[in-house]
């Protein structure tokens, strides 16, 4: 199987976290998102423990909750001692609703509204990552009105071009997020931030992209960010004490993907920051990271019921499932790769080449093209692997499809963490 999280039991059924996925589909219905709690917790610990082991300057791991935002994930992150990164009022609201410690919340976004900034200040979030000059000014005046001071990081584009899909690259100058280094925007932002008396500039942030397998971009980021912190020290006398390196650690979606382990990524990051501090003559900053996908993406799957199988002679065979781009838009959005398995025939060879289609009224509603699954029939259960990140969180009610339920499995036992939407839920806001 793709990773150790997935296995096949004596009935020939696919399992995740010790639970028989065919039984889960029968019990909870389909489409169904399934997550393995032990595996997700192990991922949290691997990042946290490795940073503590390899880095002496202090660290905090924020779970980038846009990957999968729901109450249970904030509870889980809290119980593992992680912080969370949120990028909207809605994510912040969800975190606060389960009593997430506000000082361990980091608030992001390239166009935060005044209402969202106000909500963040009222909630006393620990860090606001300021994206642009307009936000700096708005935040300062809101903080003034409320009689508080905002602890901020500035979002920097370090000018690193990593090898991933264009839509998930965020480190280069032509990108909507943050201040560029090479044209002096970042230095100007620092100067402005220091001039506002309701702003406390604590550090700098970068996030170079997502689903990255190479280690060099992170090594480069360490050198560039520490180098910039040193320039700030030289020009202003201010020592930035935190550098946030964002997320982006790649996961295994297909057998071809070869991700670096989380602990190895952390060892490399820690050593690169230490080396950069030595080179530039800068005191060790606290390292912050924000993994999203790598916390839970590969500890999960989506279950569907297979319906129509349409063989178009000489063209291709479409296998249609009872979900689609409404619960997983990632193939339609950027041709994301996935592996799929017929869950009730998981011990059989995958020798049937198909295109997996959804049930939405859209030709582009595909989950995967020209992929191999086991020989399938109507009524089989199809599992699409590694769907934990950016699936539920990107799901929609397109065609008025109710959003699926999500279950968390722990040691073979499953519990619902998000209920399936009903038709009644869908018309609830209609007047
Ligand atoms: C999306 C995002 C992350 C998480 O990225 P992953 O690739 O899921 O690890 C972290 N930080 C910021 C600022 C982001 O936008």
Give the ligand 1 atom nearest the CA of 249: 9
Give the ligand 1 atom nearest the CA of 247: 9
* Cα atoms in the Cβ-side hemisphere of radius 13 Å centred on 265: 26
Active site (annotated) includes residue 361: yes
Candidate list 70, 162, 360, 361, residue with the active-site label: 361
Ligand 1: residues within 6 Å at CB?
64, 66-67, 85, 108, 207, 210, 246-249, 290-294, 389
**Among 246, 294, 295, residue to substitute to test ligand 1 (most atoms within 8 Å of Cβ):** 246
Q: State in Å: Cα 420 to ligand 1 middle.
A: 27
Domain ranges of the chain: 6-30+299-427, 37-292
Residue with tokens 């670096």: 260
Pairing of strands 366-373, 381-385: unpaired
Give the ligand 1 atom nearest the CA of 290: 10
- Alpha carbon nearest to ligand 1 atom 10, residue: 247
CA–CA separation, 354 and 192 (whole Å): 56
- Alpha carbon nearest to ligand 1 atom 11, residue: 246
Q: State in Å: Cα 326 to ligand 1 middle.
A: 22
Q: In the CATH scheme, what is the code of domain 37-292?
A: 3.20.20.10
CB 404 within 8 A of CB 389: no
pLDDT at 167: 59
Q: State in Å: Cα 209 to ligand 1 middle.
A: 7
Q: State in Å: Cα 59 to ligand 1 middle.
A: 17
pLDDT at 168: 61
Residues 6+ apart with CB under 8 A from 237: none
Give a three-class secondary structure readout of the chain: CCCCCEEECCCCCEEECCEEHHHHHHHHCCCEEEEEHHHHHHHHHHHHHHHHHHCCCCEEEEEEHHHCCCHHHHHHHHHCCCEEEECCHHHHHHHHHCCCCHHHEEECCCCCCHHHHHHHHHHCCCEEEECCHHHHHHHHHHHHHHCCCEEEEEEEECCCCCCCCHHHECCCCCCCCCEECCCCHHHHHHHHHHHCCCEEEEEEECCCECCECCCHHHHHHHHHHHHHHHHHHHHHCCCCCEEECCCCECCCCCCCCCCCCHHHHHHHHHHHHHHHHHHHCCCCCEEEECCCHHHHCCCEEEEEEEEEEEEECCCEEEEEECCCCCCCCHHHHHCCCCCEEEHHHCCCCCCEEEEEECCCCCCCCEEEEEEEECCCCCCCEEEEECCCCCCHHHCCCHHHCCCCEEEEEECCEEEEEECCCCHHHHHCCCC
- Alpha carbon nearest to ligand 1 atom 3, residue: 247
Q: In the CATH scheme, what is the code of domain 6-30+299-427?
A: 2.40.37.10
Q: How would you write the pLDDT of the chain (431 residues) with one tens digit per residue?
A: 898 899 999 999 999 999 999 999 999 999 999 999 999 999 999 999 999 999 999 999 999 999 999 999 999 999 999 999 999 999 999 999 999 999 999 999 999 999 999 999 999 999 999 999 999 999 999 999 999 999 999 999 998 876 666 656 676 778 889 999 999 999 999 999 999 999 999 999 999 999 999 999 999 999 999 999 999 999 999 999 999 999 999 999 999 999 999 999 999 999 999 999 999 999 999 999 999 999 999 999 999 999 999 999 999 999 999 999 999 999 999 999 999 999 999 999 999 999 999 999 999 999 999 999 999 999 999 999 999 999 999 999 999 999 999 999 999 999 999 999 999 999 999 99
The distance between the two most distant Cα atoms of the chain, rounded to a whole number of Å, is 72
Q: State in Å: Cα 323 to ligand 1 middle.
A: 26
Q: Which residues pair with 356 in a beta bridge?
A: 319, 368
Q: Are the folds of 6-30+299-427 and 37-292 the same?
A: no
CB 183 within 8 A of CB 173: yes
Exposure b/e, 63-97, CB count within 10 A at least 16 = b: bbbbbbbbebbbebbbebebbbbbbbbebbebbbe
């Amino acid at each position: 199987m793709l990773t150790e999280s997935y296995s096949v039991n004596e009935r020939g059924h696919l399992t995740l976290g010790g639970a028989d996925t065919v039984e889960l589909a029968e019990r909870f219905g389909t489409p169904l998102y399934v997550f393995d709690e032990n595996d997700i917790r192990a991922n949290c610990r691997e990042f946290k423990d490795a940073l503590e082991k390899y880095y002496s300057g202090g660290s905090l791991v924020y779970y980038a909750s846009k990957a999968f935002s729901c109450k249970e994930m904030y509870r889980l992150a809290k119980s593992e001692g992680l912080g969370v990164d949120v990028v909207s009022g809605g994510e912040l609201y969800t975190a606060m609703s389960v009593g997430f410690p506000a000082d361990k919340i980091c608030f992001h976004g390239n166009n935060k509204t005044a209402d969202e900034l106000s909500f963040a200040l009222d909630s006393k979030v620990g860090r606001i990552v300021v994206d642009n000059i307009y936000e700096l000014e708005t935040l300062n005046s809101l903080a003034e009105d409320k009689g508080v001071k905002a602890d901020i990081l500035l979002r920097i584009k370090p000018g690193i071009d990593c090898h991933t899909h264009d839509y998930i690259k965020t480190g280069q100058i032509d990108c909507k997020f943050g201040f560029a280094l090479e044209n002096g925007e970042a230095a100007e932002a620092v100067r402005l931030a220091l001039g506002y008396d309701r702003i406390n500039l604590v550090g700098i942030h970068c996030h170079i992209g997502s689903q990255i397998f190479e280690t060099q971009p992170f090594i480069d980021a360490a050198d560039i960010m520490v180098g910039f912190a040193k320039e700030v020290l030289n020009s202003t006398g201010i020592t930035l004490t935190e550098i946030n390196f964002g997320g982006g650690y790649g996961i295994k979606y297909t057998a071809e993907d070869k991700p670096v382990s989380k602990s190895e990524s952390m060892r490399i990051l820690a050593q690169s920051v230490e080396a950069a501090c030595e080179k530039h003559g800068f005191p060790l900053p606290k390292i912050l990271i924000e993994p999203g996908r790598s916390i839970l993406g590969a500890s999960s799957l989506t279950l569907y019921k297979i319906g129509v199988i349409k063989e178009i002679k000489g063209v291709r065979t479409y296998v249609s499932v009872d979900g689609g781009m409404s619960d997983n838009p990632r193939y339609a959005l950027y041709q994301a790769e996935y592996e799929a398995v017929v869950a009730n025939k998981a011990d059989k060879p995958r020798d049937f080449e198909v295109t997996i289609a959804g049930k939405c009224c859209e030709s582009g509603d595909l989950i995967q093209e020209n992929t191999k699954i086991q020989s399938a029939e109507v009524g089989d259960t199809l599992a699409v692997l590694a769907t934990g990140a950016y699936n539920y969180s990107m799901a929609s009610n397109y065609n008025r499809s109710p959003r699926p339920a999500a279950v968390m499995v722990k040691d073979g036992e499953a519990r619902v963490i998000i209920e399936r939407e009903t038709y009644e839920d869908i018309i609830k806001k209609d007047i």
